[in-house]
Amino acid sequence: MIFNLNRFSFFGTLLFLFAYQSAVSQTVAGKVVQEKTSKPVAFANIKLIGQAYRRTSFGVSANEKGEFFLAMKTFPVELEVTAVGYISKKVKIDKPTTNLIIELQPEAIKLEDFVVSAEKVTQEELKSPIQIEKLDISDIKNTASFNFYDAVINLKGVDVATQSIIINSVNARGFNSTTNLRFKQFTDGMDTQAPGLGFSLSNIVGPNSLDVELLELIPGPTTSKYGPGAFNGVLLMTTKNPFDYQGLSFTVKGATIASEEFDTRFFTIGNEFIHDISVRYAKAINDKVAFKINGSRLGGVDFVADNYDNIGPGDSFERTHSLRNQGINGVNVYGDDRAATMVLPRSFNGIDFDSALPIPSERDTVYQVTRQGYEEGQLVDYGVENLKFNGALHVKLSPKTELVAASYYGRASAMITGDDRIALRDFAIYQHKLEVTNEKFNIRAYTTGQNSGDSYNVGKLGESIVEAAKPNEDWFNQYFLLNRAGRGITVSRRTADTAFPRGTFLNRFEAGTPEFDSLRLVIINSQDPDFGAKIFDHSKLYHFESSAKISVGKDYFQDFEMGINARLYDPESNGTIFTDSIGNDVTNFEAGLFVEATRVINDQLEATISGRIDKNENFNVVSTQRLSLVKEIKPNTFFRGSIQTGLRIPNVREQFFNQNIGDLVLVGGLEPVVDQYDLQGNAFLISALDEFNNTVQDISNDDTRFGSGPLNINAIRLENLDILERGIIRDDKFRGIKPERITSLELGYRALVEDKRLFEVIYYINHYRNFIGTTRVVKPRTSPSIDLQLALEQANNPGSSTRFFVSDNAESAIITQGLELVYDVTSDQGTNFAINMTFANILQQNDDPLTPGFNTPPFKLNMTLGNDKMSERLGAQISWRFRSAFEWESSFADGTVPGFNTLDFQFTYSLPKIKSKVRFGGNNVLNNQQFNSFGSPEITSYYYLSFTYGQR
């Protein structure tokens, strides 16, 4: 690999030197001014038009002085010049010139006229065969969200799982997750996923708000174009070209956030502070070479995850162990997850066993017992930071061919939710890219790496602190024996939490004590798989791709594009996460090929077909296809339909997982990875064990059936052993994980009515197969095939059994559907009103516990109202969102996410003399308590003030 990388670097160096010395191009340069007054028209758009550019967008923007520059290859050419508030103009250029003056006539505007602006919807967008949601420069600058990335939540059909101020997992069309494996994200063509995680960590390594030119979100399966994993959609971020956007710009933003007790009053200033500083500088050295550099830092106090509701037996409001409930399991409490199922003395009418010690009665009962864990706030601090640097060198090899060398670096400290809660501490991602791009072809190579820094697993930390005082096996045995001896629940728990017997164990560590703090530091800095919580992950990926638009004759296809790609994953965890132990290096290679063609059948009907094949070294060749038709019903009114297939190849974690996270082991789905644990015939499905325990508990506690007479627990168990026998892992189980599959049918209607209002209706139905989830099993020390009853006793004791979560495929199919509605209107004066609604549900559900949760509100509603020209200097935007309640299911926790609505606003005041803007805004200003994924932090209200200089 080192040799190959050296060759790649040498080739890149030669290519760069060649670019730098390339020949001088023919140029067109000039200035755009206002007719009669000759006043410069700042930031006018100059675009090449004509048949050769019918399906492309090639042009530049003038600077603040109205000056522009274009490098041309051939003449004559025709330019179209547009600017807000001016009538567009077409200019024909026969030869190179450097002093061209283009005059634009101001446009008379009537206040009552409303039209959809060209920037919001073009003719090409109206008849696009796929749905594309866009946020352009204007949207980004005027969003009411705290940052531009958060603004995607206002797009139709989008779901967001908020884990931190800086980390939002974006998804579309169902099966949302905090580890969004089915949704891909790209920055200038680079997949931004962390190689060892298999998903993008929001925008911690991406561009800052000053460098973003365009965000495009494509919902639904897009595998045929963007590769395996583009299952639920993709988010494309395009940054500004330094040739087109030059100069210095910076933003300073401060925000207050409420991190303590939630205040229900409107407009409550928080008790904590966040700062966000961004800077961008770009310059064209000459007409061939330009560069840009960007940097930003966000720091402060993050959202807090303080949901201590009980998800164990009993009521959710129960927070502490009591005579009534010994099985408390808090959502954001760690170390209390494993429950032991015991036969304990039945309580005597609620008598406190401290003051009255009963003897075991003839009527024993079944209890679930957990240890006392630690709240998340006792284990972590909620400091948040995101530091980013990136830069790019652009070299024009010819007027239409550009070489780009770019590097990105991002470092973050924040909390995220995966299979457990994870504290990212100085977690870093870096990306390096070399690319040659042309309107006819593209060649791109890049590498992505990650460094886990001082990150640690919070769940494992809590579990290790609990067991450091007394191992589970000893604690539960003491608790059980003391109860059977008649000591009672309270005394038994209190004694088990002490160092008894002296010299062997330690007292329970109390949060905040020096002993607790010292032990915590030892654990979060240890990589011992049985004790330490520190995460070591230095995984990398290497990627190459190339695509070309080929002319095959207009009698066949108007557009024909094909491309290839190859990727190598190199997981590196020293055996702490993957199976990459010493002497067992792990890599994973995959490659693919795609073809896409468009044919105009007649003046009203256009068809697009695409196909793709992919090969991963651990799976057979797989293929995906898409066929779409677009028909123009009448001018500016289009109907489209498409049928497409998509797939997701298991990522490196789902293939090679081998991680001990305290109370369980995460195992990848490849057959050699699972086989090392010998689960077939030797383990139970946890769902079967839970069903058995619940059945026995319900029967034994049924006073109407047994009254106050004697009860034989063993007889009840024997009567229900068939439940356990059905849950023993079959010999044909875990014989190799398979790729996920989706088939999607989508119908859409899009109309621009009377050049004033945009309407859109979309219906889709998705059929999923081979869903990847986790099969949850428990393996006792004794095989159930040898002694079923002894295996049962051990499986119910956390000290004598181990839980495994194995990546696996669901055996049943599932069908979902959705309906999306859009109404959007924008005035020439800058007033915009937009509303979109989404309905989504499951048509055919299965009872397979492995199927991931749909995790999507049945109904979503977004409304925005804004005007960036309320006066000469003042602009404003208000956004309101509603989400209905829904059920959340994940490997971390299951529960209900209540419905909520939230209101955001922003006011912008321009200072044109110093090229600056001041913004004041607030998010969740109604102070509605909310969280959008179960077990993640509560999203509080916060208010911000920013100053921006030089942003274009």
Task: Please give the pLDDT value at position 3.
Answer: 37
Gap between the Cα atoms of 79 and 949, Å rounded: 31
Q: Tell me, what's the pLDDT at 105?
A: 85
How much is the pLDDT for 830? 67
pTM of the model: 0.85
Q: Residue 361: is its pLDDT beyond 90?
A: no
Cis preceding linkage at 76, omega within 30: yes
Q: What is the mean pLDDT of the chain?
A: 87
User: Is residue 449's pLDDT more than 90?
Assistant: yes
Locus of tokens 């073809």: 595
Angle between helices 458-469 and 514-524 (to 10 degrees): 130
* Percent of the chain residues topping a pLDDT of 90: 62
pLDDT value of position 267? 57
With beta carbons less than 8 A apart as the criterion, state whether 86 and 105 touch: yes
pLDDT tens-place string over residues 874-891: 999 999 999 999 999 988
pLDDT tens string 211-252: 999 999 999 999 888 999 899 999 999 999 999 999 999 999
More confident residue, 521 or 600: 521
**Domain boundaries defined on the chain:** 2-104, 333-378+459-524, 654-736+773-809
pLDDT tens, position by position, 268-307: 666 789 999 999 999 999 999 999 999 999 999 999 999 9
Q: Which of 158, 345, 904 is nearest to 168 (CA)?
A: 158
Is residue 696's pLDDT more than 80? yes
Residue pair 183/168 in contact (Cβ under 8 Å)? The answer is no
Q: Specify the pLDDT at position 263.
A: 55
Residue 16 pLDDT more than 50? no
CB atoms within 10 A of CB 304: 21
Q: Give exposure, 529-542, as e/b (b: 16+ Cβ within 10 Å).
A: eebbbbbbbbbbbb
Judge whether residue 118 has pLDDT over 60.
Answer: no
Helix (H) or strand (E) holding 289: strand 289-301
Q: Say how far apart CA 122 and CA 758 lie, in whole Å.
A: 11
Residue type (1 letter), 738: K
- 397 — pLDDT class (breaks 50, 70, 90): very high
pLDDT greater than 80 at residue 364: no
736-751 pLDDT per residue, tens: 999 999 999 999 999 9
Q: What is the C-alpha to C-alpha distance for residues 132 and 128, in angstroms, rounded to an integer?
A: 8
Question: Distance between CA atoms of 842 and 274, rounded to whole angstroms?
Answer: 40
β-strand partners of 106: 86
The single-letter code of the amino acid at 267 is: F
Question: What is the reported pLDDT for 869?
Answer: 80
Q: What is the pLDDT of residue 69?
A: 82
State pLDDT tens for residues 909-936.
Answer: 999 999 999 999 999 988 888 899 999 9
Q: Which residues of 126-144 are buried (b: 16+ CB within 10 A; e: fewer)?
A: bbbbbbebebbbbbbbbbb
pLDDT: which is higher, 183 or 4: 183
Question: Does 318 have pLDDT greater than 70?
Answer: yes
Which CATH architecture fits 2-104? Sandwich (2.60)
pLDDT value of position 59: 75
Residue 395, amino acid: V
Whose CA is closest to 891, among 321, 418, 182?
A: 418
The SS3 assignment for 489 reads helix
| β-pair type (801-809, 772-780) | antiparallel
For position 264, what pLDDT does the model report? 55
Q: Judging by beta carbons within 10 Å of its beta carbon (0-12, 13-18, 19+), is residue 382 exposed, middle or buried? A: buried
- Residue with token string 């230095």: 538
| Whether pLDDT at 348 is above 80 | no
Summarize pLDDT for 47-105 with one digit per residue, the tens: 888 655 554 456 788 887 788 888 776 788 888 898 877 888 888 888 888 778 899 88
Long-range residue pairs from 155-158, CB within 8 A, at least 24 positions apart, any chain: 155/217, 155/836, 155/862, 156/820, 156/821, 156/822, 156/836, 156/837, 156/838, 156/862, 157/219, 157/818, 157/820, 157/836, 157/838, 157/840, 157/860, 158/133, 158/217, 158/219
Averaging pLDDT over each range in 354-363, 533-542, 843-852, which range is the top one? 533-542
pLDDT at 831: 83
> Is the pLDDT assigned to residue 152 strictly greater than 70?
yes
pLDDT for res 332? 96
**677: pLDDT strictly greater than 50:** yes
pLDDT of residue 705: 65
Backbone angles phi, psi at 75, to 5 degrees: -135, 160
> Is pLDDT at 708 greater than 90 in this prediction?
no
Q: Give 419's pLDDT tier (boundaries 50, 70, 90).
A: confident
Q: What is the pLDDT of residue 138?
A: 83
Query: Is the predicted pLDDT of residue 29 greater than 80, yes or no?
Result: yes
Task: Reply yes or no: is the peptide bond before residue 501 cis, omega within 30 of 0.
Answer: yes
Instruction: Report the 10 Å Cβ neighbour count for 711.
Output: 21
**Nearest by Cα to 61 from 79, 80, 44:** 44
Which pLDDT band, with edges at 50, 70 and 90, does 806 fall under? very high
> What pLDDT is stored for residue 28 in this prediction?
84
| DSSP β-bridge partners for residue 413 | 385
CA 415 – CA 384 distance, rounded (Å): 8
Mean pLDDT of 98-117: 61
Q: Where does the pLDDT of residue 584 fall: very low under 50, low under 70, confident under 90, or very high at 90 and above? A: confident
pLDDT > 60? residue 851? yes
Burial call 619-645: b when 16+ CB within 10 Å, e when fewer: beebebebebbbbbeeebbbbbebebb
Q: For position 225, what pLDDT does the model report?
A: 86
What value does the mean pLDDT take over residues 41-49?
A: 84
